[in-house]
Amino acid sequence: MSNEYEAIVIGGGPGGYVAAIRLGQLGVKTLCVEKEAMGGVCLNWGCIPSKALIAAANLANKVRNAQHMGITVKDLEIDVAKMQQWKEGIVDKLTSGVTSLVKGNGGDIAMGNAVITDPNTVEVTDADGKKQTYKATKGIIVATGTQMIQIPGFEPDGEVVITAREAVSLQKAPESMLLIGGGVIGLELGMVYQKLGTKITVVELLEQLLPGTDSDLVRVVQKHLKKGEPADIHLKSRAVSLDKSGGKAKVTIETEGKQQVVEVEKVLVAVGFKPNSEGLGLDKIGVKLDQHGHILVNDQFRTNVPTIFAIGDVAGPPYLAHKASKEGEIAAEVIAGHKAARDWRGMPAAIFTDPEIATVGLTETEAKAQGKKVKIGKFPFAASGRAMAVSETDGFLKVIIDESDHQLLGVAIVGPEASDLISESALAMEMCAFAEDVALTIHPHPTLGEGVMEAFKHALGEAIHIMNR
């Protein structure tokens, strides 16, 4: 393997490996440096494994509650260890596929910790402590992601106090689990184990679950948390102390000055992320960071040091794998001499709770906060024939349009397959579409996607399958 490259990518996650592949496609000689496993957190311990477990847990829950369809399964057995084997098989296929794609497009891979020693040089230390120096003549892309924030007194031990990384690999469902943090990671994994039989307690510092998400969407998810073995939800609360004596966790929860103690088998700490920007040598070469440690970049993901680029979570929120991937493509194209820059108008986001939540563009709250005069179109899944046929009628589709010219401002969906349904609206946002563009598009019947069309029609006062009020 050569020591001279045109580009070096630090990090093999969804931002880094995509950048390496795109650079290879553009004929740029590239090295990708990864310290742990190709695919990064997303493929190995995050997006993919969690979604596999969510799918398995949802299937078990559907079978358990299918009596109204004439399906009754007695003595349903869930083998979590076997579920984990299945999940690991998926992870292995994807990570090996990513490695093959990087190499197949002409890229090299070096495993180890990377430090930038000057604007064109990276030093890599492998697992045996051996150091190797590599040169990049055109640019270095930092794609090192984030790490979980830890709470003093609740440091993970991998057994009683765990992070999402351990939570996606548990070999059995615990009897009880307390989630510190009612955000995306906590609720996604908490709802998995709730469906596998775990008693869930949620402690959230703010006044609602999934902070930053419109409350009407959150209410639908919170309703589901109360089904089956209902979760105990503590809002405007914090975990103040932990006692692990006796092999379990006794957690003291404080809510508006009042305290109570909850005993659980596992504590999942999921209170957010911080950027992996330390230890890379950025300070020595003068790369500027924001107050939280994110690397500051322009619209081409170039830092204040012209040969250094940063993409993905380390360059700032929102922390989305698909955002990182797109940024990787843009940075690669800029290094290769092409014209490219970010435009996040059509950037969707998805939360894989039950039901799912997906959004693109402005939320209703954001649009009104900006002083925009808006029209809202809503279509409930309870009015969808397909939703009835699959027995998933909770939730709705919401469209936010400009009152004056009907330009699309945003879409929010809570309900079945929301993460897939949002893509049509993301395309509409990217194309600067108007409500009429989607409302006039014929959608196949019977599908959940018809609800998108109906929501746009409702914003125009033309919905067919609900009253226009």
State yes or no: pLDDT of 2 exceeds 90.
no
Say what the pLDDT of residue 205 is: 96
**Rounded to the nearest 5°, which phi and psi values hold at 337?**
95, 10
Helix (H, G, I), strand (E, B) or coil at 150: coil
Task: Over range 163-177, report the average pLDDT.
Answer: 97
Say what the pLDDT of residue 229 is: 80
State yes or no: pLDDT of 50 exceeds 90.
yes
> Which residue's structure tokens are 């190995």?
44
**Rounded to the nearest 5°, which phi and psi values hold at 252?**
-90, 120
Rounded CA separation 422/426 (Å)? 6
Rounded CA separation 95/385 (Å)? 39
Total-model pTM: 0.96
Q: Which of 151, 117, 349 is nearest to 239 (CA)?
A: 151
Say what the pLDDT of residue 246 is: 82
Task: Over range 408-428, report the average pLDDT.
Answer: 98
Say what the pLDDT of residue 382 is: 98
Task: Over range 404-409, report the average pLDDT.
Answer: 97
Is there a contact between 98 and 105 (Cβ–Cβ < 8 Å)?
A: no
In this structure, are strands 356-361 and 408-415 parallel, antiparallel, or unpaired?
antiparallel
**Rounded to the nearest 5°, which phi and psi values hold at 221?**
-65, -40
Task: Over range 116-132, report the average pLDDT.
Answer: 97
Q: In this predicted model, what pLDDT tens digit does every residue of 145-155 receive, in sequence order?
A: 999 999 999 99
Please indicate whether residue 458 is annotated as part of the active site: no
Strand order, beta sheet including 258-264: 237-243, 249-255, 258-264
Say what the pLDDT of residue 1 is: 63
CA contacts within 13 A on the Cβ side of 235: 7
The residue from 294, 406, 443, 445 that is catalytic is 445
CA-to-CA dists, residue 115 to 13, 36, 295, 324, 398, angstroms: 17, 15, 15, 21, 46
What single-letter amino acid sits at 255?
Answer: T
Rounded CA separation 280/89 (Å)? 32
Q: In this predicted model, what pLDDT tens digit does every residue of 205-252 receive, in sequence order?
A: 999 999 999 999 999 999 999 887 899 999 999 999 999 988 899 999
Say what the pLDDT of residue 188 is: 98
CA-to-CA dists, residue 441 to 13, 347, 436, angstroms: 37, 22, 8
CB neighbours of 407 closer than 8 A, spacing ≥ 6? 401, 432, 433, 434, 435
Maximum Cα interatomic distance, the chain, rounded to a whole number of Å: 70
Q: In this predicted model, what pLDDT tens digit does every residue of 302-326 receive, in sequence order?
A: 999 999 999 999 999 999 999 999 9
Q: What percent of the chain has pLDDT over 90?
A: 97
Mean pLDDT of the chain: 96
